[in-house]
């Protein structure tokens, strides 16, 4: 399916990136000269997203000033200056700014490189894979060996039919959640109005057999510490032509 709406979760404090985030919001930290959130928004725009809600809290004025300069996708600000809403609460609040229907959700500090040219992008594949009749959410997933900056935690086990369950030691097909979701906004019709963690909805979907995963094409990066910046930039060099 074609998905044109998105939510970018960008309000976190970035405490592990201090002292950089003592003066700068985490999504504006530059990797190879480009703010992290611009990698994310460019990925969304390339997948056909025309409207994206972005939540802001830490140095919110800097975030708004930066996002005003973007032409695509069109940005709507979900203001969390008064109180952080956590991942689930932030998504629920941001959904109120978007049209009802399917949407993509991404974290502002997770992105990937190395997709095969001339083929559908990871997000286009995720949108096509998502079936609201049988799925609550479809998550983009990645093998641990295809990550940079990750702490080594395995999030889910991926079954042959695409279903996900929480990973426990010894399970086959362990994967890492790559920070991108395809879902229907109506899934959050009953969402609390206060802060809550998105894992509540992951676990609910697992219990129903309605959480599915699709494997990422390329190399995935997360930047949570100052040291991870150099690691991410080195990975980008490796995946560039001639790298």
**222-235 pLDDT per residue, tens:** 998 999 999 999 98
- Most distant CA pair in the chain, distance: 50
Q: Where are the domains of the chain?
A: 5-239
> Helix or strand or coil: residue 112?
strand
CATH class of the 5-239 domain in this structure: alpha beta
Backbone angles phi, psi at 38, to 5 degrees: -75, -30
* Structural contact between residues 43 and 108, judged by C-beta atoms closer than 8 angstroms: no
pLDDT digits (tens, 9 = 90+) for 5-57: 999 999 988 888 899 899 999 999 999 999 999 999 999 999 999 999 999 99
What does DSSP assign to residue 216?
Answer: P
Give the separation between CA 236 and CA 230, rounded to whole angstroms.
10
User: Element (H or E) spanning 35, and its range?
Assistant: strand 34-35
CA 174 to chain centre: 19
Strand order in the sheet with 110-113: 110-113, 219-222, 147-148
pLDDT digits (tens, 9 = 90+) for 101-153: 999 999 999 999 988 888 999 999 999 999 999 999 999 999 999 999 888 78
Give the separation between CA 170 and CA 42, rounded to whole angstroms.
37
Which positions ≥6 away from 151 have C-beta within 8 Å? 224
> Helix or strand or coil: residue 196?
coil
CA 81 to chain centre: 21
């Amino acid at each position: 399916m074609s998905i044109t709406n998105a939510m970018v979760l960008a309000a976190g404090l970035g405490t592990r990136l201090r002292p950089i985030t003592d003066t700068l919001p985490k999504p504006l930290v530059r990797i190879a000269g480009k703010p992290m959130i611009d990698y994310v928004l460019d990925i969304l725009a390339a997948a056909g997203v025309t409207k994206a809600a972005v939540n802001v809290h830490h140095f919110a004025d800097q975030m708004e000033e930066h996002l005003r300069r973007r032409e695509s996708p069109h940005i709507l600000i979900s203001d969390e200056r008064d109180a952080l809403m956590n991942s689930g609460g932030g998504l629920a609040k941001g959904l109120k700014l978007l049209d009802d229907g399917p949407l993509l959700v991404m974290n502002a500090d997770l992105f990937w490189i190395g997709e095969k040219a001339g083929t559908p992008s990871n997000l286009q594949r995720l949108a096509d894979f998502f079936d609201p009749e049988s799925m609550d959410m479809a998550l983009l997933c990645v093998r641990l060996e295809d990550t940079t900056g990750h702490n080594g935690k395995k999030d889910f086990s991926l079954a042959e039919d695409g279903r996900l369950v929480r990973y426990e030691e010894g399970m086959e097909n362990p994967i890492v959640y790559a920070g991108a979701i395809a879902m229907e906004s109506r899934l959050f019709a009953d969402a609390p109005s206060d802060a809550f963690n998105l894992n509540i909805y992951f676990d609910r979907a697992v219990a129903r057999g309605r959480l599915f995963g699709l494997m990422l094409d390329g190399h995935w990066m997360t930047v949570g510490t100052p040291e991870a910046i150099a690691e991410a930039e080195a990975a980008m060099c490796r995946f560039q032509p001639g790298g």
